[in-house]
């Protein structure tokens, strides 16, 4: 396993910890306690979790995702 050191601004640390913990291959060593999240950060995390779930379902062949061209055509 490779160890990686990343410098994160204190204001972004709670969000980073939550996102990193969602990746099953990442081990987070919390040396600082995470502060409470803002409503916007919580919304972002929930959206990220939903996106990861959709990708997982797509990889299992249970749903079909839109192509980039289909997304651009919606704009």
pLDDT digits (tens, 9 = 90+) for 5-48: 778 888 888 888 888 888 888 777 666 444 567 888 888 888 99
Residue 16 tokens, joined: 């980073």
pLDDT: which is higher, 37 or 55: 55
Half-sphere exposure of 68 (CA within 13 A, CB side): 0
Do residues 28 and 50 touch, judged by C-beta distance below 8 A? no
Do residues 10 and 16 touch, judged by C-beta distance below 8 A? no
Whole-prediction pTM: 0.50
């Amino acid at each position: 396993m490779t160890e990686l050191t990343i410098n994160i601004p204190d204001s972004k640390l709670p969000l980073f910890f939550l996102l990193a913990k969602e990746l099953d291959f990442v081990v987070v060593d919390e040396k600082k306690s995470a502060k409470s999240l803002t409503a916007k950060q919580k919304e972002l995390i929930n959206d990220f979790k939903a996106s990861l779930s959709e990708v997982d379902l797509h990889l299992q062949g249970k749903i079909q995702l839109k192509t980039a061209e289909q997304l651009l055509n919606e704009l």
